[in-house]
């Protein structure tokens, strides 16, 4: 049988019936929603038996009003078979600050930096990761900028911290939050030189 994204879905459903929550086809793209605990078993099968030999990305989506709150998304390519597959796992119980997902680094070593990025920006942890630490934000930053409850322009802290984009080790209530609104200051404005008619990040109006 030729390996296509559609046939892959059927093979995974047959081999891992308890692991598959649902499958979705949208505009000829195939997505499999998996139980988190089955992720590594399914991924190992996809790579070893079905030649999904390239992990193109790992990312996440935050749904703050939903339970589970986060989707972790894996984009896979089978270069020999020229087909693409998407996997998703849902994690995040109410009040759970750092939901955990199994790492797939042992299957695709390229997942290392992708998982670190998701950890850094969403606060999701990857059990079994060989070196899980921040990759974009400073090591002592305490929040996760791609969560949807994060202020659009970050946290504005007292002087001398220009723009508020610095690590802090106190509650975010220090200073104030800057939001993207017509009354907000530009990203390159002095903290005391606010132009009420300028949207943050737009060219200065003379």
Q: Cα dihedral sign for 171, 176, 178, 181? A: positive
CA 45 to chain centre: 24
Q: Name the residue among 143, 131, 140 with its Cα closest to residue 98.
A: 143
CA angle 190, 204, 164 (to 5 degrees): 30
Q: What is the pLDDT of residues 109-119, one digit of tens each?
A: 999 999 999 99
Phi, psi dihedrals of residue 5, rounded to the nearest 5°: -60, -40
Angle between helices 5-15 and 39-50 (to 10 degrees): 130
* Interval 115-147: pLDDT, tens: 999 999 999 999 999 999 999 988 877 788 899
Helix and strand numbers, DSSP H then E, in the chain: 3, 9
CB of 122 closer than 8 Å to CB of 144? yes
Going from N- to C-terminal start, the domains of the chain cover 5-127, 151-201
- Domain at 5-127, CATH homologous superfamily: NADH:ubiquinone oxidoreductase Nqo5 subunit (3.30.460.80)
Give the per-residue pLDDT at 141: 79
Q: How many CB atoms are located within 10 Å of the residue 89 CB?
A: 24
Answer yes or no: are the C-beta atoms of 71 and 124 closer than 8 Å: no
Report the alpha-carbon distance of residue 55 to residue 72 in Å, rounded: 14
pLDDT tens string 56-84? 999 999 999 999 999 999 999 999 999 99
Q: Which two tokens stand for residue 109?
A: 């070593």
Is 16 a residue whose pLDDT tops 80? yes
Query: E-assigned strands of 49-159?
Result: 54-62, 70-78, 83-91, 100-102, 125-127, 155-156
């Amino acid at each position: 049988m030729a390996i296509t994204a559609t046939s892959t879905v059927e093979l995974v459903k047959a081999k891992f019936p308890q692991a598959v929550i649902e499958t979705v086809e949208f505009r000829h793209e195939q997505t499999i929603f998996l139980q988190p605990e089955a992720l590594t078993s399914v991924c190992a099968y996809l790579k070893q038996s079905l030649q999904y030999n390239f992990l193109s990305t790992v990312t996440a989506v935050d749904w703050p009003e939903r339970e589970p709150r986060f989707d972790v998304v894996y984009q896979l390519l089978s270069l020999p078979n020229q087909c693409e597959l998407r996997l998703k796992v849902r994690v995040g119980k109410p009040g759970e600050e750092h939901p955990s997902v199994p790492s797939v680094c042992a299957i695709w070593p390229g997942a290392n930096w992708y998982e670190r990025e998701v950890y850094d920006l969403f606060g999701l942890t990857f059990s079994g990761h060989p070196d899980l630490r921040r990759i974009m934000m400073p090591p002592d930053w305490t929040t996760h900028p791609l969560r949807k409850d994060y202020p659009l322009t970050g946290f504005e802290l007292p002087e001398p911290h220009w723009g508020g984009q610095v690590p802090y080790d106190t509650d975010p209530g220090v200073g104030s939050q800057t939001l993207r609104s017509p009354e907000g200051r530009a990203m390159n404005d002095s903290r005391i030189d606010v132009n009420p008619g300028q949207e943050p990040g737009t060219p200065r109006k003379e």
